[in-house]
Structure 1
Amino acid sequence: MENFSLPTATGVAAIGLKTGLIFPNDDIAAITTEAVKSFVEDKDIICVTEAVVARSQNRYISCSDLAEDIQKKLNLKPKSTLAVISPIASRNRFALVLKALAMATRGGKVIVQLSMPLDEVGNQVMDEEFATTRIRLKKVLKSLREARENTPQLNVLIREIIAALKLQELGYNILSIRKITGTGIADLTVRTPEGKLAVAEVTFANLEKAKKKAIEIKQDVDGAEQAMVIAVDLGHHKIVMADAETTDEAKTYDFGPQLESYHDPDVVYINELENIKFSHPITGIDYRDLYIEMIESGDAEGEVLFTNNPLKVYDRGYINGVCISAVHERDKLKELFTSFGAMVPVLTLQDIGPGPWGVIGSNVSDFEKGVLKLLPGDADGTAENIKAKIREVSGKDVEVLIFGDGAYKDPDTGIYEMADPHPAIGVSSGLKSAALRTGSKLKLQVDTLYNQGYSREEIGNMLKNKQDKITKESLGTTPRSVTSIVATLADLVAGSADAGTPIVLVRGFQYSRAN
């Protein structure tokens, strides 16, 4: 790329640049300068991934050192109970942090509150349909229980909700509950774990009578392949299920252990899930299992709560400390706990480990040895040093940006893959004063002027001379942060796998200074 040049009609261009391997204590300013010196131009933006910057700074911490820091900052005694609030679902980003948190309790307990169905960056924590149906069923159950005192007949509806909750635990998908949803002709219409459409009649005791009715209903439901009967004993907390069309032995289930959990409409507890797994559709990881495993590897007892009300952790007994583990919502959640009157220390991931970011944005360096790589220290200063080095060697005046995760959401996976606090971790002085990027919509201007009868030449001249006052004032673009745009562009170009292009040169990106 010694003779690198772009066509004169080029707008913004971003090119990934390969370097040699970068190790701890390497001179990142010299490496970056060497990579760009032969073709860099004034006003280029040189972007360097935070990963190699942090590595060159030797920014690592072990789980044992992190655990010691956590223990001191939260003042945790042996056998303490620690609440971990709203972490993202990520093996790379959080598993070792969780192990260190568990180690800090010194044989205690860690209660992890996971938001559902997704974490704050879009990772699936629980199947969305399961979560939505589960919470809806439990809310209806709560309403029915509150009204039952004056209307004993509501037990008929309660038994059907209980039956639906138990079927969900067994892997059935609840499609309708006739007396609740007003749809379907069976008490319950479900999809079996094998994918069959099934109808179920629910009774208090008489299975044989219910079998006949279930078979009749099945014949009237298009596509139904199975008829079921379910007897619910509310007094003894037993459920009996049978196939209405076979002589297979009925199965009995005890819902007594889950009853208290059924009565809490804000939380899905582990004892409600039985053998249900929520494997992430892309990674295949069940984060509930992974996080329990990491807690136990830190010699602590683990518990996971699925709830969007973080304060529910207080229902699980005395808490000795709280670690807010969200990335983007950390300050809001910390304020929630402190305003609620927490009498124990409340810290965020930014407060544990070395500054300025703590372990926010950290990722696994060595999983087996329990080592984390942190975000760079003094990223702004590092960017300024790289800028100065490039000017010294090439004579060119550039800006430098150290980038982390890009601020974009993948529409196919639903993941907003931004586990770093900002897309731009550090910037040189010129980018610090960049104004929000705004403008007028060229496509709207051209369409409007064309529809008004102007010719190609007239439209071109009007746009060039900014004479299109009506369209310019009618609709502008959404203001966006210049550094976030450039960092996201760099992250997309660099990739996160094995492209080997930790430096991205951005040319032709126009922006203005803030007043």
Structure 2
Amino acid sequence: MRCVGTVVRGIRTPIIKKDDDLATIVVDSLMAAKESEGFEFRDKDIVAITEAVVGISEGNYVTVDDVAKDLQEKFPSKKIGVVNPILSRNRFSIILKGIARGMDKITLLSSFPSDEVGNGIMDEGILDKSEFDLASVISEDEYKKTFGSWIHPFTGINMVDFYRDLIESEDCEVEFVFSNNIRTILDYTNDVLTCDIHTREKSTALLKAEGANVYGLHQVLTEPVDGSGCNPEYGLLGSNKATEEKLKLFPKTGQAVVEEVQRRLIELTGKQIEVMVYGDGAFKDPVGKIWELADPVVSPAHTSGLVGYPNEIKLKYVSDNKFADLKGDELKEAIKDEIRKKAENLMGQMITEGTTPRVLTDLIGSLCDLTSGSGDKGTPVVFIQGYFDNLAND
């Protein structure tokens, strides 16, 4: 009888740089880990590769000047509204530097009391006691008077001050306004760059219907500028700060990478191994209230065996209801038999209540993100065994 279910291993690799053969590095690192740790490959094992090393190896970078040039072509007035940017130095500061370098004036509209993924911009306790509510439009002067220079407890930074200094350092004028209605920006300008991640299509369509000249971050750098990198599907979304003058974009060759890694592993092991690229996990921190997912998707590329949703019964429900009178080995065998007989699609049935109705790559990618972390673990590859196992698999 198997006594262990899912096993997750962070796989150490060499430091990956531009033009490295990523597929070879991933496969060689897995084979070295196999020898070191003594595991064997099995069908339905999963190999996951962080999007960062895919983007790095393909050299998918753009500069601040590339961003400025693309935006000048889209907004020749050089006076734009920047709507709902994420409040993140890593994610948005270099993008904002490019916007400011290309424009003469920015009206920056921020949602409140936090951005799309939960980064705070004001003290919610003060907001509750103030004259303002979530439907208010708050000017920058009113923000300063009511909320002061609010410091985020985790970063120690006020992002309004930080973004103002950054914009003005590029000789660009800036005006801040705080509103949860993106139409508010049309009171200031008709040229708008929307910066939200997960509602991007809705936002651009809404403002376009109002007659605005509008683009989203997902529509910037979709093609190369002067030989730069690009991402045809996501543009600047999913990018990260590389240097003070450069951004690493979300990868564009991920599907070719996962298919090549899968091909090599099947050839080497004889097992049907699935492969995916993952970025941010799709989970929320209950203390900091930050929703981790600042990428446009969790997995921009994966092999076909990872498509779909979990199809699981809730053991607790079956135990407490259908087999309420059973205990011990008799209960266990009855539940294992129930698992073996389950339908291929349990959607909507009471027996699944309490299971997680999310796509597989979102769940697996979240597991991988928590395993690899975002710092110095040095494990950009994650190897998962037993994810698709259940109690009936002996």
TM over 0.5: yes
User: Given that residues 96 and 294 in structure 1 are in contact (C-alpha distance below 8 angstroms), is that contact kept between their aligned partners in structure 2?
Assistant: no
Aligned-pair identity (%): 34
1:488-509, Cα deviation, whole Å (9 max, x unpaired): 1000000111111100001111
- Aligned: 1:129 with 2:125: yes
After TM superposition, the structure 1 = structure 2 runs for residues 321-470 of structure 1, keeping only pairs within 5 Å, are 321-342=191-212, 344=213, 346-353=214-221, 354-355=230-231, 356-367=233-244, 370-431=245-306, 434-449=307-322, 452-466=324-338
SS of 2:28's partner is helix
Does 2:28 match 1:34? Answer: yes
Aligned to 1:112: 108
- Counterpart residue number, 2:178: 306
**Cα-to-partner distance string for 1:361-420 (whole Å, 9 max, x where unaligned):** 1011012xx111111113222211221222334443311111000001111111001110
Q: Secondary structure at the match of 2:115?
A: coil
What do residues 97-151 of structure 1 show as CA deviations (whole Å, max 9, x unaligned)? Answer: 011111121xx100111110011111112211223333xx257xxxxxxxxxxxx
Q: Name the structure 1 match of 2:227.
A: none
Q: Counterparts of 2:209 and 2:76 in 1: how far apart (Å)? A: 22
Alignment TM-score, normalising by the size of structure 2 = 0.87
Match of 2:388 in 1: 510
Q: For residue 475 of structure 1, report the CA deviation from its aligned partner.
A: 4.8
Distance 1:389 1:396, change over 3 A: same
Q: Residue 9 of structure 1: CA displacement? A: 1.7
Decide whether the 8 Å contact of 2:106 with 2:175 is kept in 1: yes
After TM superposition, list the pairs within 5 Å mapping 1:133-212 onto structure 2: 133-134=129-130, 137-138=131-132
| Matched AA of 2:218 | Q
SS in 2 for 1:466: helix
Q: Distance in 1 between matches of 2:113 and 2:287?
A: 17
Distance in 1 (alpha carbons) for counterparts of 2:153 and 2:320: 42
Residue aligned with 1:123, SS: coil
Query: Cα RMSD over matched residues?
Result: 2.3
Offset of residue 299 of structure 1:
2.0
SS at match of 2:263: helix
Secondary structure of the corresponding residue to residue 382 of structure 2: strand
- Distance in 1 between the 2:267 and 2:322 partners? 48
CA shift at 1:473, angstroms? Answer: 3.8
- Would you say the 8 A contact 1:82–1:323 is kept in 2? yes
The aligned amino acid for 1:439 is E
- Within the candidate set 348, 365, 372, 1:494 is matched to 372
Alignment of 1:281-300 (within 5 A): 281-300=153-172
Using the alignment, how far apart are the partners of 2:165 and 2:331 within structure 1? 64
In structure 1, distance between residues paired with 2:388 and 2:87: 37
Q: CA deviation at 1:322?
A: 1.0
- Do the aligned partners of 1:438 and 1:480 also contact (CA within 8 Å) in 2? no
* SS of aligned partner of 1:489: helix
Question: What is the deviation of 1:454?
Answer: 2.1
Q: How far is 1:265 from its partner? A: 6.6
Q: Distance in 1 between matches of 2:317 and 2:90?
A: 43
Give 3-state SS (helix, strand or coil) of 1:46's partner.
Answer: strand
Q: Does 1:83 align with 2:81?
A: yes
What is the distance in 1 between the residues matched to 2:2 and 2:329?
21
> Structure 1 residue 449: deviation in Å?
5.0
> Residue by residue, what CA displacement relative to the aligned partner does 1:293-320 show, whole Å, maximum 9, x if unpaired?
221122210111111012212223x43x
Shift of 1:87: 1.0
Task: Supply the distance in 2 between the matched residues of 1:479 and 1:291 (Cα, whole angstroms).
Answer: 38
Give the TM-score taking structure 1 as reference length.
Answer: 0.67
Amino acid at match of 2:76: L
| Among 335, 354, 361, the residue aligned to 1:483 | 361
Shift of 1:474: 4.9
Matched, 1:14 2:8: yes
Q: Is the 8 A contact 1:438 1:478 kept in 2?
A: no
For 2:50, the equivalent position in structure 1 comes to: 49
Aligned residue for 1:55, secondary structure, equals: helix
Q: Which structure 1 segments of 5+ residues have no match?
A: 1-6, 140-263
Q: Kindly indicate whether the alpha-carbon contact (under 8 Å) linking 1:86 and 1:324 is maintained by their aligned counterparts in 2.
A: yes
1:277 to 133, 139, 149: 149
Residue-pair matches, total: 364
Corresponding residue for residue 226 of structure 2? none
